[in-house]
Amino acid sequence: MAIPMDQRDGWIWFDGELKPWKDAKIHVLTHGLHYASCVFEGERAYGGEIFRSREHTERLIQSGKTLDFTIPYSVDEIEAAKRLVLEKNGPVDAYVRPVAWRGSEELSVPARKNTVHLAIASWVWPSYFSVEEKLKGIRLEWSKWKRPSPETIPCKAKAAGLYMICTLSKDAAMANGYADALMLDYRGYVAEATGANVFFIKGDEIHTPDPDCFLNGLTRQTVIALAKANGYKVVERHIMPEELANFDECFLTGTAAEVTPVSLIGEFTFKPGKGCETLINAYAEAVTPKKVAAE
């Protein structure tokens, strides 16, 4: 049985200082808990180095600004704190979670007087999907929830509240025997999985939904560049669900998912092949720290 997150050993950077893991606590009346005034990042360290670390930190700060609060630490200070957490906790291959939220001074919808806090944790967290699942491709069902219009949510922020329908969708999918769920957007276009972007392959072309109402993942951006470098034409566009019948391969991308092939989405089937294999290998090479030869 997995150890509950609040009962683990280790260290968490909390508002400027390292605290023993079990002492990193907040009050039950914290604004971020009740009103979702909370932003976070999901990052992976490979060989002790966080992949695209600075870009994650910059996005964290921008997400806070989108939710109308300023994280009281600079990019450089957050970068140093992440390195300290990794060093203190030990594992060189780890998941890193910075999270910022409004505190508990007042509990009402407005929160301008509430202190903004920042914590950073790291722990060993394998990919969302097992090696066996990756090799055969995971199975997805359609979510009943849709990604809302950008006029109704701050869709460019990695904000905690936006993941509520993701949790509902993934829990329902797993209860039905699937690994994940694929969401449409408010217009009926294909959007994303619950914690990962989606790509489709046909020959030497890769098609992926235009992220105009959901997060343009950093892993997504990395894989697009890798696909182009490996000779694929990448098309970002609106994709209707019935178009999935025209594609041969499908895969998800995300910090946790990395590159994960898909074998089924609802009534549509795919066969993981050369395209998925190429990008799995290219991504694995990209995230592996390059050793600098001694002079």
Check whether residue 17 and residue 109 sit in a common domain. Answer: yes
Q: What's 22's domain CATH number?
A: 3.30.470.10
* Per-residue pLDDT band at 125 (split at 50, 70, 90): confident
According to DSSP, the β-strands at 138-147 and 258-265 are parallel
More confident residue, 133 or 121: 121
φ/ψ (deg, to 5) at 152: -115, -15
208 and 240 within one domain = yes
- One domain, residues 54 and 193: no
Domain that holds residue 194: 131-287
SS3 category, 76: helix
pLDDT tens, position by position, 227-260: 999 999 999 999 999 999 999 999 999 999 999 9
Last residue of a domain, one of 123, 151, 181: 123
Instruction: Answer yes or no: is 292 within a domain.
Output: no
Exposed, middle or buried by CB within 10 Å (0-12, 13-18, 19+), for 257?
Answer: buried
Same domain, 140 and 109: no
Mean pLDDT of the residues in the chain: 95
Same domain, 158 and 249: yes
pLDDT at residue 81, rounded to an integer? 98
Last residue of a domain, one of 106, 123, 140: 123
pLDDT digits (tens, 9 = 90+) for 40-76: 999 999 999 999 999 999 999 999 999 999 999 999 9
Confidence of residue 128 (pLDDT cuts 50, 70, 90): low
Q: Are residues 82 and 172 in the same domain?
A: no
> Do residues 231 and 256 both lie within one domain?
yes
For residue 228, being part of any structural domain is answered with yes
Q: Does this model's pTM top 0.85?
A: yes
Task: Please count the structural domains in the chain.
Answer: 2
Is residue 1 included in any domain, yes or no?
no
112 and 45 part of one domain = yes
| Within a domain: 237 | yes
Residue 294's pLDDT is what?
40
Residue 264 has pLDDT above 50, yes or no: yes
Q: Note whether residue 168 is domain-resident.
A: yes
3-state DSSP assignment of residue 107: coil
150 and 78: one domain?
no
Domain assignment present for residue 51? The answer is yes
Asked if the structure places residue 5 within a domain, the reply is no
What proportion of the chain, given as a percentage, has pLDDT over 70?
96
Q: Is 233 marked active-site?
A: no
* Boundary residue ending a domain (123, 156, 184): 123
Residues 106, 186, single domain; the answer is no
CATH number, domain of 225, equals: 3.20.10.10
| Same domain assignment for residues 176 and 106 | no
E strands, the chain, are 11-14, 17-20, 38-40, 43-46, 49-50, 94-102, 116-123, 138-147, 180-185, 190-193, 197-202, 205-209, 233-237, 249-254, 258-265, 268-269
Catalytic residue among 19, 82, 136, 158: 158
Residue 212 and residue 69 share a domain: no
Asked if the structure places residue 293 within a domain, the reply is no
Average pLDDT over residues 179-187: 97
